[in-house]
Amino acid sequence: MKILLNGVEKSFDFDSITIKDLTTLISIDRETIVAELNGEIVASEEFGNVTIKDGDKLELIRFVGGG
């Protein structure tokens, strides 16, 4: 499977994966991100139900606090 992840083409050895499983695989804390799949915002409570497939475009935007 090939996807566009934050503007970079990435290849994986599976046909599909949930956003939850992908963020675990690439070690991203789901509590601090917003996900946009193919131009649509995905609610964090749906990360385990939404499947990423070959050709999809996923943007993971991380919140950073500071002063």
At 2-13, the pLDDT tens digits run: 999 999 999 999
Q: Provide the pLDDT for residue 15.
A: 94
Q: Is residue 13 one of the residues assigned to a domain?
A: yes
Q: Which tens digit of pLDDT belongs to each residue from 31-67? A: 889 999 999 999 999 999 999 999 999 999 987 777 6
Name every residue whose Cβ is closer than 8 Å to that of residue 29 and which is 6 or more positions away in sequence. Answer: 23
Q: Any idea what the CATH number is for the domain that residue 56 is in?
A: 3.10.20.30
- Domain extent, residue 39, equals 1-60
**Quick one: tokens of 57?**
């475009």
Q: Provide the pLDDT for residue 67.
A: 66
Q: pTM to 2 decimals?
A: 0.89
Using alpha carbons, select from 55, 9, 13, 6 the residue that is nearest to residue 35.
Answer: 6
Residue 57 in contact with residue 1, Cβ under 8 Å? no
The number of distinct structural domains making up the chain is: 1
Distance CA 12, CA 64 (A): 28
